[in-house]
Structure 1
Amino acid sequence: MSMIGEHARLAPAELSRAIQDPDWGWDFVEEHLAADPGDGTPVPGGRLHSTGKMWHALEYLLKRRGVEVNVVHGEEEVPGAEDWGCGPPRTITPERVQLAAEAMAAITPEGLVEGVTPAELASAGIYPYADSAPDGRLADAAVAYQDLNAFIQTTARLRHGLIAWIA
């Protein structure tokens, strides 16, 4: 079974409602999942984003590059939320999304993986590299970052917040 990083973009009032009523937040996600074409292609302007199996590598690489906002797991646990897969969802406020977007705008996909080897990720226990051959492709992490960065930039531009979870 694969673990997948997931994000939902919410306007400030929606984010507040999801924090107050986590069941409403899950219903919001399910409604948007039902409208998704399901082919894994990022939908421009879409409310949902998946980092796929690259979530752990992205978290490691972004931290290594000094991004202080945890855009992969989120920051504040949604109080009273059920497990959305591998634990409860976590939020990122619009202000923290803006901070993340500024930091990420300065990092190219190539720059994110520069000086890192698949063997380093494997030895650090970073999923999915720890579960694969040591010659795993860093290009996969760079592409996942490019898509995540675009989603974060859109979220910041709209002054929205995020809910993140690992499914």
Structure 2
Amino acid sequence: MSMFGQYARLAPAELERAIQDPDWAWDFVEEHLAAVPGDGTPVAGGRLHSTGKMWHALEYLLKLRGVEVNVVHGEEELPGADDWGYGPPRAISPEQVQAAARAMAAITPEGLVEGVAPAELADAGIYPYSGSDPEGRLDDAALAYQDLQAFFQTTARLRQGLLVWIA
């Protein structure tokens, strides 16, 4: 079974409501998931985003580049939230989104993976590279980062926050 990094973009009042009422948050996400095409690909400009299997590699690479906001797992756990896959969702406040977007704007997709070999990720047990071809490439991680970077830029521009979870 694959694990996917998932994001839902919320206005500040919606994020506050999600923190106070995790069941409402799940209903919000389900409603937006229902609008996603049959292949599960989030709609461009939509409220949802997925990094697919690259979530763990992105976490490793973003920490390596000094991004302080936990872009992959979120910052604040939603109190009383159920497990949404591999644990409960976490929130990233609009202010934290702003900080993350600024940090990410300074890192190009090529710069994120520069000087890092797939073997390094495999040796560190980073999903999905662990157990993979050590001669592989990091193109998928760079592409996933490019899309995540754009999603964070949009979220920051709209002064919104995020719910983050691994499913």
With the shorter chain as reference, the TM-score category is over 0.9
Amino acid at match of 1:105: A
C-alpha separation between the residues in 1 aligned to 2:38 and 2:164?
19
CA-atom RMSD, angstroms? Answer: 1.0
Change (3 A) 1:131 1:119: same
What is the correspondence of 1:18-37 to structure 2 with a 5 Å cutoff?
A: 18-37=18-37
Q: Which runs of 4+ in 1 moved over 3 A?
A: 38-42
1:38–1:156: structure 2 CA closer, same or farther, 3 Å change rule? farther
Counterpart of 2:134, as a letter, is: P
Normalising by structure 1, what TM-score? Answer: 0.97
Residue aligning to 1:98? 98
| Structure 1 CA distance for aligned equivalents of residues 136 and 39 of structure 2 | 23
Structure 1 unmatched runs, 5+: none
Q: Which runs of 5+ in 2 are unaligned?
A: none
Give the structure 1 partner of residue 62 of structure 2.
62
* AA matched with 1:117: A
Quote how far apart the aligned CAs of 1:24 are. 0.4
Structure 1 position 133, deviation (Å): 1.9
| AA at the equivalent of 2:137 | R
- Three-state SS of the structure 1 residue aligned to 2:37 is coil
How far the C-alpha of 1:44 sits from its partner, in A, is 2.5
> What SS does structure 2 have at the residue aligned with 1:36?
coil
Report the Cα distance in structure 1 between the residues aligned to 2:38 and 2:108, rounded to whole angstroms.
Answer: 27
Distance 1:134 1:29 in 2: 37
Q: What does residue 158 of structure 2 align with?
A: 158
Q: Measure the CA separation in 1 of the matches of 2:20 and 2:136.
A: 41
- Once residues 25 and 40 of structure 1 are traced to their aligned partners in structure 2, the CA distance between those partners, rounded to angstroms, is 19
Shift of 1:41: 4.4
Q: Is the 8 A contact 2:123 2:130 kept in 1?
A: yes
Are the structure 2 counterparts of residues 42 and 135 from structure 1 closer, same or farther at C-alpha, using a change threshold of 3 Å? farther
* 1:42/1:147 contact within 8 Å kept: no
